[in-house]
């Protein structure tokens, strides 16, 4: 059964995903004049959901009632797998901009589409450039536009959550925006780092937590600890 499923992925699933990705990337580029409107967002949701559907990965989403699609937030999520992006992009009800590593800009078509859609690329090796990226994302957070950040900075290697970095929380404090914890579970088992296929019978879940007022904390470290606990609680 496992062999048949992997063959399906490589012979049918992945080739169709490439076709869908190219189609949606080109359509996103064409939609540039309306990049903050409903049409690009609809295209991006279609792409993300199509990827999980084609890989036969069922997803359970809870907590969508906790957020207002018209409100701007800073979303923070644990990062288990390459598949995390599709779950958040496809099922988070808010319009948002990713804060992503600059290496992704080099992916043909996809990198250009992400840039056109207004997502922000961060040079993690250059502190000054990283700070400029944070300033740019702050300018985008209004009129219901949010941002999604993986505060661990990279995918987990063990399945355990790593240390959170301060960037997302600095943005929330400076902009006085609520922070929403996103808990992604089952994704590490489905496709851990350095595995190039999705495990059979994968079951994944996205839980959207309740917004947290970042200004209630005395310092940023207390805020980070609280939000990390809430992300962990949503995994159970």
167-220 pLDDT per residue, tens: 889 889 988 999 999 999 999 999 999 899 999 888 999 999 999 999 898 889
Residue 119 sits at the vertex; the CA angle it makes with 183 and 214, to the nearest 5 degrees, is: 45
CB 122 within 8 A of CB 102: yes
Tell me if 1 is assigned to some domain.
no
The tokens of 1 are what? 């059964």
When divided into structural domains, the chain yields a total of: 1
Please check whether residue 8 lies inside any domain of the structure: no
Query: Taking the model in full, what pTM does it have?
Result: 0.89
The reply to whether 18 falls in a domain is no
Structural domain includes residue 17: no
Query: What's the half-sphere exposure (Cβ side, CA atoms, 13 Å) at 186?
Result: 18
* pLDDT per residue as tens digits for the range 58-117: 999 999 999 999 999 999 999 999 999 999 999 999 989 887 778 888 888 888 888 888
CATH number at residue 80: 3.40.1130.10
Q: 229 near 222, Cβ under 8 Å?
A: no
For residue 138, give Cα distances in angstroms to 61, 73, 94, 146: 28, 11, 17, 10
Q: Is residue 13 a part of any domain in this protein?
A: no
Asked whether residue 28 is domain-assigned, the answer is: no
Q: What is the Cα–Cα distance from 51 to 92, expressed in whole angstroms?
A: 15
Residues sharing a CB contact under 8 Å with residue 110, sequence separation 6 or more, in sequence order: 21, 25, 104
Six token digits for residue 169: 């929380």
Pairwise CA distance, residues 165 & 228, whole Å: 11
- How high is the pLDDT of residue 97? 87
Residue 139 lies in a domain: yes
d(CA 159, CA 153): 14
Task: Determine the structural domain holding residue 134 and report its residue range.
Answer: 57-233
Average pLDDT, the chain: 88
The single residue listed with the structure tokens 């903050």 is 36
Q: Is residue 43 part of a domain?
A: no
Q: In this structure, what are the phi and psi dihedrals at residue 121, rounded to the nearest 5 degrees?
A: -100, 135
Alpha helices in 55-192, H assignment, sequence order: 84-91, 110-116, 127-140, 167-175, 187-190
Banded model confidence at residue 126, pLDDT cuts 50, 70, 90: low
């Amino acid at each position: 059964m496992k062999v048949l499923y992997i063959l399906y992925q490589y012979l049918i699933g992945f080739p169709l995903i490439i076709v869908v990705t190219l189609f949606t990337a080109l359509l996103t580029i064409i939609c540039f004049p309306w990049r903050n409107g409903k049409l690009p967002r609809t295209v991006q949701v279609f792409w993300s959901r199509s990827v999980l559907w084609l890989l036969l990965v069922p997803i359970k989403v809870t907590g969508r009632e906790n957020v207002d699609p018209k409100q701007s937030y800073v979303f923070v999520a644990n990062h288990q797998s390459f598949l995390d992006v599709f779950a958040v992009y496809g099922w988070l009800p808010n319009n948002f901009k990713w804060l992503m590593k600059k290496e992704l800009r080099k992916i043909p078509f996809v990198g250009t589409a992400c840039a056109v859609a207004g997502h922000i690329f961060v040079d993690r090796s250059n502190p000054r450039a990283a700070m400029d990226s944070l300033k740019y994302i702050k300018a985008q957070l209004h009129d219901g536009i949010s941002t999604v950040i993986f505060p661990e900075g990279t995918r987990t290697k063990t399945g355990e959550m790593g240390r959170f970095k301060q960037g997302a929380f600095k943005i929330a404090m400076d902009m006085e925006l609520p922070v929403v914890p996103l808990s992604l579970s089952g994704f590490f088992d489905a496709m851990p780092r350095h595995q190039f296929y999705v495990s059979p019978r994968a079951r994944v879940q996205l839980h959207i937590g309740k917004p947290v007022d970042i200004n209630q904390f005395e310092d940023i470290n207390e805020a980070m600890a609280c939000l990390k606990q809430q992300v962990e609680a949503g995994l159970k």
